[in-house]
Amino acid sequence: MTTPEHYRFACLPRLDASSWCRLVERVSSPLDLIGLPEDRLMSLGLSKPAALALQRNDPSRHRATLEALARHHIKIIAAHESDYPPQLLEVRGAPAVIFIRGHHEALKMPQLAMVGSRHPTANGALTARDLAFHFAQCGLAITSGLAIGIDAASHSGALAAEGTTLAVCGTGLDRIYPDTHTDLAARILDRGALISEFPPETAPLPHHFVQRNRLISGLSVGVLVIEAAFKSGSLTTARYAGDQGREVFAVPGSIHSPLSRGCHALLREGAVLVENADDVFRELKINQLNHGFTLPFPLSSAEPLGGSRLDNPSEILLDAIGFEPTSLDALIASTGLSSTSVASLLLSLETEGRIASDSSGRFYRVLQSTHIE
């Protein structure tokens, strides 16, 4: 049975899940390793850096860490235990120990990772929420990274469906990062879990988030990317997925948008193009898995927001805007309306939430979700 003291094995250099499992076969308890001399530790299979790190003794830090584990109800699962997610054991370099807050049984559910831009378009965020809603309704757990943007939209979509969602964190679980997602994290804990390979008091360092991406993909049956720039961190998760033998999915976008370039690069490399939820279900052969899924169903076609009929000038303008960003001058030229009329109509449509504008001041239509309030 894993005890809080097992946290000392987290982040030991060159100690991964496979080497941990070999190690525990040679001792009656992993805790017996604490305090052994360096040569004895190495004879049991620990690397020299790991042996030296384990020998370091800082009572005050150990005490603070143990208090944090208890205060935040953080549990530890080691790689040799039955609660350790089996799909993660397949991943080379998986952590010997993981930390979890929330419902540990969620780790055993089939998971779909959803990742993307931290600064998505309104349509990108809505697409993520809508897809996550459908997947969660069908019994897939949605796994992401608790970041702003597509991550948060994906978690929120799963929660709106009263489904399960898991957040893999790049910090210790005694803190929520970003702190603006404290409420979101609390909602995730109600229906899922927060997971990390880092012990309490681990700061949000950049390389930790790259490192955690391999867990996002490793926990999942596939990774779906929605809006990602060419050098997006989301592509790192997709690359890990490919190396781990997981399916990679991507939602295409406008050829004019920088947020489409990462997804288009993945599609050129063989990722599965996703236009609706059925594309993912079909590729994963969900209906052949024995996890109690309902029959897969596609997203209903998205329509412009708003149920009331627009007057004629608004209809003309809305048709001219389309779903790709369009400049004010182009709208004036294509509609034949005066600049004053176009400006007034744009303000009205944007106030109603039927269109949005990007950072360059161009306008595009906003999709409607028929499933999420």
Q: What local confidence, expressed as pLDDT, does residue 131 receive? A: 96
Taking a C-beta distance cutoff of 8 angstroms, is the pair 230, 261 a contact? yes
Q: Which amino acid is at 93?
A: G
Name the segment(s) of the chain with CATH classification 3.40.50.450.
Answer: 104-288
Q: What is the pLDDT of residues 235-252, one digit of tens each?
A: 999 999 999 999 999 999
pLDDT tier at 202, thresholds 50, 70, 90? very high
Q: How many CA atoms lie within 13 A of 229 on its CB side?
A: 9
Q: Which stretches of 182-304 are assigned E, i.e. beta strand?
A: 193-196, 222-226, 247-251, 272-273
Which ranges in 269-311 belong to alpha helices (H)? 277-284
Residue 307: CB partners within 8 Å, gap ≥ 6?
none
How many whole angstroms from its chain centre is CA 275?
19
Q: What local confidence, expressed as pLDDT, does residue 317 receive? A: 85
C-alpha span between 277 and 86 (Å, rounded) = 26
Q: What local confidence, expressed as pLDDT, does residue 216 receive? A: 98
Residue 296 has pLDDT above 70, yes or no: no
Q: Which amino acid is at 97?
A: V
Residue 31 has pLDDT above 60, yes or no: yes
C-alpha span between 371 and 373 (Å, rounded) = 7
Cis check: omega of the bond before 178, within 30 degrees of 0: yes
Q: What is the pLDDT of residues 251-274, one digit of tens each?
A: 999 888 889 999 999 999 999 999
CATH top-level class of 104-288: alpha beta
Which residue from 105, 118, 109 is spatially nearest to 136, judged by alpha carbons? 109
Length of the chain: 373
> Across residues 312-338, what is the average pLDDT?
81
pLDDT tier at 319, thresholds 50, 70, 90? confident
How many whole angstroms from its chain centre is CA 4?
27
C-alpha span between 358 and 200 (Å, rounded) = 39
Q: What local confidence, expressed as pLDDT, does residue 360 receive? A: 82
Q: Give the pair of three-digit tokens for residue 183.
A: 């409420």
Higher-pLDDT residue of 354, 75: 75
Q: Sort strands 193-196 and 111-116 into parallel, antiparallel or unpaired.
A: unpaired
C-alpha span between 301 and 310 (Å, rounded) = 20
Q: Give the pair of three-digit tokens for residue 109.
A: 């559910």
Which residue from 249, 255, 219 is spatially nearest to 234, judged by alpha carbons? 249
List the 222-226 sheet strands across, edge first: 75-78, 97-102, 193-196, 165-168, 141-144, 111-116, 222-226, 247-251, 272-273
Q: What is the pLDDT of residues 33-65, one digit of tens each?
A: 888 899 999 999 899 999 998 888 677 778 889
C-alpha span between 335 and 350 (Å, rounded) = 18
Q: What is the pTM of this model?
A: 0.81
Taking a C-beta distance cutoff of 8 angstroms, is the pair 188, 160 a contact? no
> Across residues 217-230, what is the average pLDDT?
96
- By three-state DSSP, how is residue 281 classified? helix
Mean pLDDT of the chain: 87
Name the segment(s) of the chain with CATH classification 1.10.10.10.
Answer: 312-365
Q: Over the Cα atoms of the chain, what is R_g?
A: 24
| Residue 282: C-alpha distances to residues 203, 248, 271, 286, 289 (Å) | 40, 13, 14, 7, 12
Q: What local confidence, expressed as pLDDT, does residue 166 receive? A: 98
> Across residues 354-370, what is the average pLDDT?
80
Q: Sort strands 97-102 and 141-144 into parallel, antiparallel or unpaired.
A: unpaired
Question: Which of 2.40.37.10, 1.10.357.10, 1.10.10.10, 3.40.640.10 would CATH assign to domain 312-365?
Answer: 1.10.10.10
Q: What local confidence, expressed as pLDDT, does residue 371 receive? A: 57
C-alpha span between 152 and 106 (Å, rounded) = 18
Q: What local confidence, expressed as pLDDT, does residue 2 receive? A: 77
Using the 8-state DSSP alphabet, how is residue 199 labeled? P
C-alpha span between 8 and 35 (Å, rounded) = 12
Q: What local confidence, expressed as pLDDT, does residue 176 receive? A: 97
> Across residues 151-172, what is the average pLDDT?
97
H or E stretch covering 78? strand 75-78
